[in-house]
Every structure is written in C-alpha cells, then in structure tokens.
Amino acid sequence: MPQNILQERILALLTFFTVAFTCGCNSYQLGNPVELPFKSIYIKPVTNDSFAPQAQALLSSQIRDVFIHDGRTKLVTSSEAADAVLIVNLTEYNRRAAARQSLDTTMAANFSLTLSAEVSLFNQNKGEYYFQERMIQKSSNAYVEDLYATQGDSQTQGFIQSEYQAMPRIARGLARRIADEVLNPWEPR
C-alpha cells in the first residue's frame, strides 16, 4: 500500500511539472519578433572626420561583424543590391584626463576617450531616409599607469599604447550601438 501511494505522488508531481513547464514556455518566442522593413543592407565604408587614429577601418569591420552575428538582415556587397544603405561618419573624438597620478598631479593616469558617430539609414527602394544624422557615441578609458606592476617595474605604458589598446573596445561598443539603432524599432527624435 505505501508503495502505491508513493508512485501516485511521484506521478502527480511529474504531471504538475510537465504542465507548469508547458505553460511557462508557451509564450516564449525564439528570436526578435520585430519585422524589419528591409531584408538586405549595404554598409558603406565608415568615413572619419574626427581625429580618432585609424578608427574607420576598425569600426567598419566591427559593424559588419555585429550584423553578421545578428542574422536578421543579409549583408550585400553593393548599394544597388541592397534594400537599405547604412552610412556612418565619425564626427568627434575626445580625450580628457579622468584621473591624475598620485605623485605628480599634472600627469594623467587615466584618460576618458569618447568617439561620436553620425548614422543615417537610407531606403534604397523609396529613395528616402529611414532616419538621418543620428548621433551615437561610446566612451572608454585608457589607463596609462599599470596598477598591477611591482615596485621595481616601470609603471607606465604610455598614452599612445593605452589609446591603441582602448580603440578596439570603443569600436566594438559603438558598432553594437549602431546595430541596435538600425535593428530596433525607430522612434522620431
């Protein structure tokens, strides 16, 4: 008799979890439910009107990578074959001292770097813009002083090297923000 009751309880518990799992996953939708107004996109090479060193090639490749990984649109190699054309222009690059060295307050230990881009998305089929000249920016830090260096080691790596190391991080973040602007529903700004 106790064996029969145990089996009934296990069966009831399994039935409960099966029903709960089925109801819980009923409303889940795989992927993004937003339907884009274009199927293919051409990404023009990024232009650089800022003083960001060599940023246009790096940002162009990062934007393409983000769109390829997203998979909702097809990347094409010419504007004639595309439904939409993405135009990106780097407009401003700012460097500013964010922290000073502890022994010499005239020298920066950390720089705040900000890269700004102007983004437009052109509808090839209708000859008008989905959106035009939206400003997007990304900031990151470049650390000149090595916080983990031992006492005898040189504790600086130089601003140029730290800026060089920070640029891919800035480009990757800016590319993600640009892709979010293109692939998410638009609101007039």
- What one-letter code names the amino acid at 137? Q
Q: What is the CATH number of domain 40-183?
A: 3.30.160.150
Residue 9 pLDDT grade (very low, low, confident, very high; cuts 50, 70, 90): confident
Which of 128-132, 155-159, 160-164 is predicted least confidently?
155-159
Element (H, E) at 153: none
pLDDT reading at 56 higher than 80: yes
Describe the crossing of helices 55-70 and 159-183 by its angle, rounded to 10 degrees. 40
Which of 20-24, 93-97, 102-106 is predicted least confidently?
102-106
- pLDDT higher for 17 or 138? 138
Q: Mark 49-61 as b/e (b = at least 16 C-beta within 10 Å).
A: ebebeebbebbbe
Domain ranges, ordered by start, for the chain: 40-183
Residue 65 pLDDT grade (very low, low, confident, very high; cuts 50, 70, 90): very high
Comparing CA positions, the residue from 133, 126, 56, 129 lying closest to residue 90 is 56
